[in-house]
Copies of this chain bind each other. A is one copy, B any other.
Amino acid sequence: MDYKVERLLVNYKTLEEFKKFKEYGIQELSMMDDLETNIIENDSESPFYGIYFGDKLVARMSLYERKAKFDQYFDPKQDFLELWKLEVLPNYRQKHYGSILVEFAKSFGKPIKTNPRVKSEKFWDKMGFRSVSYDMDRDLGENPLLWTPETIISQ
């Protein structure tokens, strides 16, 4: 069975679906506020990508492009993607939705940085993400993991 990864649009239906996810916070509340006060239009593009099962959003992640000048992770400095809020709803786990989303992120061909939740090391290792050397000034309480496309590794 094939699953389509979709860019999520900011509208009341999407924001209602977001409430089912554990990592719900100021980002989602701010999107709701921007929609209610017409700061953003209905159906604007969000930084979220997701997988629907029927009309129910069952997995999501957020992706954001960082410019090379803000890069503190890769050498040489380069544009990269920051991935966060990767989450699959409890009843839909073990179906590779998480892997499908991460592979989708990789398909942009840019290095990726993520700061995973605790106890997901095996998943990220399987996806080819590697730990950095911890740097307190940069990382504080983060556990940064990096993925680099092979074309860059082989340089």
Residues of A within 8 A of B (CB): 22-27, 29-30, 47, 62, 64, 82, 84-85, 115, 118, 131-134, 136, 139-144
Contacts and interface: CB of A to CB of B under 8 A. Distances in A.
A25 B136 CA distance: 12
A47 B136 contact: yes
B82 A140 contact: yes
Given A140-B62, A141-B62, A134 B26 contact: yes
A27 B139 CA distance: 8
A30 B85 CA distance: 25
11 contacts: A22-B118, A23-B118, A25-B141, A26-B131, A26-B132, A27-B136, A27-B140, A27-B141, A62-B140, A84-B140, A85-B141
A140 B140 CA distance: 16
A143 B82 contact: no
